[in-house]
Amino acid sequence: MNRHHLNSLAAALAIAAPLAASAQTAPIRVGVVTPLSGTYAGIGQQVKWGLDLAAAQINAAGGVMGRKLELVYEDEEANPAVATQKAEKLFQVGKVDFLTGTVNSGSTLAVGQVAERNNRLIATTVSFADSITADKCSPNVFRVNARAGMQSAALADWMASTQKNANVFYLGPDYEMGRSTVAAFKAAAEGKGAKTAGEVFAPLDNKDYSPYFGQIRGARPTVIYTSVAGNDTVRLFTQMAEFGVNRNVQVVGASGTVTSQNLGAIGKAADGFVTGVGYSSSIDSQENRKFVADFEAANKSKPDLYGADSYGVLFFYKAAVEKAKSTDTDKLREAMRGLQWATPQGNKTMRAGDHQAMQDMYAVKVEGGQFRIVGKVAAEAAIGPDACTRF
Amino acid sequence: MLDWLQFVLAPQVVNGLSIGVAVVLMALGLTIIFGLLDVINMAHGEFYAIGAYAALALIGVGLPFWWALALTPLLMAAVGYATERALIQRVFHSKDRHTLTLLLTFGIAIVLEDILKIVFGANPLRIEQPITGATEMFGLFFPNYRLFLMAVGAVVIAAVWLVVFRTRLGAMVRAAAFDRHMAASLGVPVSVVYAGTFAFGVALAGLSGVLLAPIYSVFPTMGRDFVLIAFSVVIIGGMGSIKGAVIAGLLLTQVQSISSLVISPVWSDPLLFGIMVLVLMWRPHGLFGRLGHG
């Protein structure tokens, strides 16, 4: 071999070397399809804050297997049709390795199908609908947050522990979400020995709830459960206080009933309200205190459950990639099944049978405009049976 | 049975009455504008919302609720006057008045709703109730603010009726509605009367906004809340009839309120519109005649 050839070989090596290295050090791309505008923009904001904070911390500590995480955002406008287009774009053009961020349960289910077609994995950090990890489960979809059934379980457990023989009146908005939340909580409550005093379904965007108060009073409940949301909650709570319907009655509800968006308008009338959730910024642990402090320093706002679970999902992904030593879909799926990882609200375990995260659940009570933890249910007691039959 | 009358039916009737007063307040402005100007004001609900937000802003700068209650209708009258002069006058005299004013006010409604969203945000806000507590009468428990609302409603209805039917101003308004050419030739400043009447209707919508905000909360799309039932009330009562609006408003809300005891609340709207269809089949012009014609 003459000098000329040697030179060209060396030159080729010099060019090839950085290329080979870059496959090992190029960033891992994580797609985020989340509502940055529209009705759910407030939730999308928390999702983004949580993810940005987690990515910054992971990258500062050396990344995932030496590779940095890079987040690629797309606005889904809380619309499943838009979400599928944006997810398709991220998988096909954006070449993302993993996808998260969907809020609306319809979007999560639709994007799950896109993920199956593209042979990638997604995780939701927000969607509550039980079906996502039950009858509509997908081998490509994971859920790191608590589902509706777990929230009901935590609330029913707290109710049973504070009231023997609770007599519950149910008031829901008359559409799919309202009817399914009432049915789910009723099942959980009756399982714990509570009686049903009556139920009424009011139209969505109902103006005045006082026509139902006679019926509620007549049923003499000790507990009123409601799953109304948004403006409807403001009106219902204001009017209940006005008529004194909530005197000597415990008001409980779905986790979306009282949120930071309507708490201000409800004011004092929200005091005493109890709900079941998977996260509260008042969880008293060293990990959570540090997380809340970091989150507030970065965003000038407290994390809610969406912010906390979106923060946690990147640590879930990191743990899975490091366990699989790969970003390959099949290897990663195996690694994620049964995986245990650390989050601000404690360790979570991904149940292999239905891809639903198991976690401790809390009952929280509104006091002076703040949520305070009043009860806790262990992960195993809250999760409920595995109803996924696809894998 | 007596228990049922006292603890279930009676509160329901009184509740229905307080909602009825709210509906009548909304319907009054609508029917007056229609009766005189022959304009279907699709933006009536948004003027109601602006009234509530105006009160919220006035209270926000430190004024007590009662000042906001007094100032908002004046403010809204100015807004109404300006709207009539600047926009509605332009299309009022064309041949397609009905279609054009309907489209125009519908457009105004959409724009106003978005402006509220941009200025005040999409989240609900609330005005604290200026009168708290409740009164117990005959074993009936009723919030004081709603009692106040019913009293104010009765006063407003009586005042409107007095102004329209018992004053010189009212006579001019009715004359302009009945025959504007004749009224003009007798020296009635018809265009000022038109703008003034529109302003009066808008002021009534604003007043309802302030009065109802402590009960129903304040948010950008609140204008859609009462406007549908107010329109039905105006149609059933007779387009333009004040008496019709009051009677139909109280009657319909009673039907809704009492029926919700026996049928699912979701059916109360179909019931309302069913009654509307039946009334229109029986009396195409509604129960009572038009303003200026009665």
Interface probe for B, chosen from A208, A248, A249, A263 (most Cβ of B below 10 Å), is: A208
Take residue A175 and report the two structure tokens written for it: 């559409």
Tell whether A235 lies on the interface with B, counting CB pairs under 8 A: yes
Q: Cβ A243–B143 below 8 Å, yes or no?
A: yes
Q: Cβ A265–B269 below 8 Å, yes or no?
A: no
Q: 14-43 in B: which are within 8 Å (CB) of A?
A: 15-16, 18-19
Please tell me the distance in Å from A170's CA to the nearest CA on chain B: 14
Judging contacts by C-beta atoms under 8 Å, the chain B residues touching residue A264 are 123, 125
Question: Taking CA atoms, what residue in B is nearest to A264?
Answer: B125
ipTM here: 0.82
Task: Tell me B263's DSSP state.
Answer: S
Tell whether A207 lies on the interface with B, counting CB pairs under 8 A: yes
Tell whether B206 lies on the interface with A, counting CB pairs under 8 A: no
Phi, psi of A249 (to 5 degrees): -125, 135
> pLDDT tens across A248-261, in order?
999 999 988 998 77
Element (H, E) at B191: helix B190-216
- State residue A360's pLDDT score: 95
> pLDDT tens across B36-49, in order?
888 889 999 999 99
Please tell me the distance in Å from B115's CA to the nearest CA on chain A: 16
Q: 151-190 in A: which are within 8 Å (CB) of B?
A: 174
Which CATH superfamily groups domain A150-277?
Response regulator (3.40.50.2300)
List every span in chain A annotated with CATH 3.40.50.2300: 23-146+281-359, 150-277
- State residue A338's pLDDT score: 96
Q: 143-202 in B: which are within 8 Å (CB) of A?
A: 143, 145-146
Q: Which of A292, A298, A265 is nearest to A279 (CA)?
A: A292
Judging contacts by C-beta atoms under 8 Å, the chain A residues touching residue B18 are 210
> pLDDT tens across A80-93, in order?
899 999 999 999 99
pLDDT cut 90: percent of chain A above it: 68
Q: Cβ A174–B265 below 8 Å, yes or no?
A: yes
Residues of chain B with pLDDT under 50: 294
- pLDDT of A138 above 90: yes
Neighbouring-strand partners of residue A375: A363
Q: What is the mean pLDDT of residues A263-276?
A: 92
Q: Cβ A203–B217 below 8 Å, yes or no?
A: no
Beta-sheet pairing, A361-367 with A274-277? antiparallel
Letter string b/e over residues B29-45, b meaning 16 or more CB atoms within 10 A of that residue's CB? bbbbbbbbbebbbbbbb
Burial classification of residue A331, based on how many CB atoms lie within 10 Å of its CB (0-12 exposed, 13-18 middle, 19 or more buried)? middle
- State residue A212's pLDDT score: 87
Q: Cβ A230–B126 below 8 Å, yes or no?
A: no
pLDDT: which is higher, A208 or A37: A208
d(CA B172, CA B183): 8
Q: What is the mean pLDDT of residues A70-87?
A: 92
> pLDDT tens across A143-186, in order?
999 998 899 999 999 999 999 889 999 999 887 778 888 998 99
Question: Taking CA atoms, what residue in B is nearest to A215?
Answer: B8
- State residue A24's pLDDT score: 65
- State residue A7's pLDDT score: 56
- State residue B117's pLDDT score: 86
Neighbouring-strand partners of residue A356: A143
Interface probe for A, chosen from B123, B144, B254 (most Cβ of A below 10 Å), is: B123
Element (H, E) at A344: none
- pLDDT of A262 above 80: yes
> pLDDT tens across A204-248, in order?
878 889 888 888 988 999 999 999 988 889 999 999 998 889 889
For Cα atoms A89, A95, A101, give the angle at the middle one, nearest 5 degrees: 65
Please tell me the distance in Å from B265's CA to the nearest CA on chain A: 6
Q: Which of A347, A315, A355 is nearest to A134 (CA)?
A: A355
Q: Which class in CATH covers the domain with range A23-146+281-359?
A: alpha beta
CB contact at 8 A, B231 and B225: no
Neighbouring-strand partners of residue A169: A198, A224
Q: Cβ A213–B15 below 8 Å, yes or no?
A: yes
Judging contacts by C-beta atoms under 8 Å, the chain A residues touching residue B123 are 261-262, 264-265
Take residue B274 and report the two structure tokens written for it: 């069913």
> pLDDT tens across A300-346, in order?
888 988 999 999 999 999 999 999 999 999 999 999 999 999 999 99
Tell whether B2 lies on the interface with A, counting CB pairs under 8 A: no
Question: Taking CA atoms, what residue in A is nearest to B253?
Answer: A211
Q: Is B87 helix (H, G, I), strand (E, B) or coil?
A: helix
- What average pLDDT is seen over chain A? 90
Please tell me the distance in Å from A211's CA to the nearest CA on chain B: 6
CB pairs under 8 A between A and B: 91
- State residue B294's pLDDT score: 42
